[in-house]
Amino acid sequence: MARRCSRSNGTNVTGLGLAMAASWLLLLAGVSDGQLQVGFYSRTCPGAESTVASVVRQSGSADPTILPALLRLQFHDCFVRGCDGSVLIKGGSGSAEVDNSKHQGLRGLEIIEGAKTQLEAQCPGVVSCADIVALAARDAVAFTGGPSFDVPTGRRDGKVSNIRDADALPDVHDGIDALRSKFRANGLDEKDLVLLTAAHTVGTTACFFLQDRLYNTPLPGGGRGADPTIPPGFLSELKSRCAPGDFNTRLPLDRGSGNVFDTSILRNIRNGFAVIGSDAALYNDTATVDVVDSYSGLLSNFFGPYFRQDFADAMVRMGSIGVVTGGAGEVRKVCSKFN
């Protein structure tokens, strides 16, 4: 009996050892293959997040308009091939993703490159450009008065940047069906659509993006003119700021509250004061109308839903779109070109 028990125990110990070894291999495979995690660089580059925050803070102090631009930069990166830093690539032939007209006016690439230069000096070949974009957007939100939140990191940089891939980006001319479709293609729902659009609570837009809405919208009775859904008083206000052919004048996306991170943008959308057409489209569908209304009520700050937390959660979800992790992709030495 003792011998049988001994042999049996020996077999179990061996089996247990093999099982533990297999478990460790699976665990290591999971780490290398990849899930994003908060504090990914805590050992390999402990100063990574504070370095990015410092660069963003200094840049925002010199030019506050760069903060919403960094937020827009992450959106443009993640909605094309996923959050892989592909929007940062500069191709000499004009065929890179950033050369697509849908990226017109994109700013902040030099801020990401500046942070990358510092991080390469600290921890060569460790921190990806894709993660710098995500961290910079997070810091930009906080420095404009928005919520502070943790960003999972561990992204790798993609190895493809194609001008035509950016055709999939949402556009200021998109109606609600197109917007919903583009968000769903990236695993985001109507609530995410409203929350991420609410990033327009800070920042400006150029009159270039309003020209069609103010002067060239197809009208029900034929011909073209101003979008008939714009309230007359607001239409006069917009036209006074953006004359025909004026492409460069800038105006706040959030009327009356363009420098403060708050829910004013949603109240403006509800009341017909959305500046660009894609924002106004959120009030043309029951699902998005309900979400807009839920956050724009006066009591939502006290009884929920809680916009700041939900916005942060939506940012994290967006930052997880199509990420490259583990052994895929690369960690670029310079963000604007492949290794």
Instruction: Tell me: is residue 285 an annotated ligand-binding position.
Output: no
Instruction: Tell me: is residue 201 an annotated ligand-binding position.
Output: yes
Instruction: Indicate the angle between helix axes 286-296 and 190-197, nearest 10 degrees.
Output: 50
Identify whether the C-beta of residue 322 lies closer than 8 Å to the C-beta of residue 78.
yes
Instruction: Tell me: is residue 86 an annotated ligand-binding position.
Output: yes
In b/e form, how buried is each residue of 100-122, taking b as 16+ CB within 10 angstroms? bebbeebebbebbbbbbebbbee
pLDDT at residue 29, as a whole number: 35
pLDDT for residue 134 is more than 60: yes
Instruction: Tell me: is residue 200 an annotated ligand-binding position.
Output: yes
> If DSSP codes are grouped into helix, strand and coil, which group holds residue 139?
helix
pLDDT for residue 11 is more than 90: no
User: Where in the chain are the domains?
Assistant: 48-168, 176-318
**Residue type at 82 in one-letter notation:** G
pLDDT for residue 25 is more than 50: no
**pTM listed for this prediction:** 0.88
Percent of the chain with pLDDT over 70: 88
pLDDT for residue 303 is more than 70: no
pLDDT class for 21, splitting at 50, 70, 90?
A: very low
pLDDT tens digits for range 167-210: 999 999 999 999 999 999 999 999 999 999 999 999 999 999 99
User: What are the tokens at 188?
Assistant: 């985001």
Over residues 21-40, the mean pLDDT reads: 56
pLDDT class for 26, splitting at 50, 70, 90?
A: very low
pLDDT at residue 302, as a whole number: 65
Over residues 120-127, the mean pLDDT reads: 98
> If DSSP codes are grouped into helix, strand and coil, which group holds residue 5?
helix
pLDDT for residue 19 is more than 90: no
Is residue 76 part of the annotated active site? The answer reads: yes
The residue from 76, 156, 213, 317 that is catalytic is 76
> What does the mean pLDDT of the chain come to?
90
Identify whether the C-beta of residue 67 lies closer than 8 Å to the C-beta of residue 307.
no
Instruction: Tell me: is residue 203 an annotated ligand-binding position.
Output: no
pLDDT at residue 298, as a whole number: 73
> If DSSP codes are grouped into helix, strand and coil, which group holds residue 330?
strand
pLDDT at residue 27, as a whole number: 36
Q: Is 256 left (phi over 0), alpha (psi -120 to 50) or beta?
A: left
Over residues 95-122, the mean pLDDT reads: 96
Give the separation between CA 232 and CA 253, rounded to whole angstroms.
Answer: 18
Over residues 94-121, the mean pLDDT reads: 96
Fold of 176-318: Peroxidase; domain 2 (1.10.420)
Instruction: Tell me: is residue 103 an annotated ligand-binding position.
Output: no
pLDDT tens digits for range 59-95: 999 999 999 999 999 999 999 999 999 999 998 788 9
For domain 48-168, the question of CATH label 1.10.600.10 is answered with no
pLDDT tens digits for range 237-283: 999 999 999 999 999 999 999 988 999 999 999 999 999 999 999 99
Which tops the pLDDT comparison, 298 or 56?
A: 56
Neighbours of 1 (CB within 10 A): 5
Calculate Rg over the CA atoms of the chain: 24
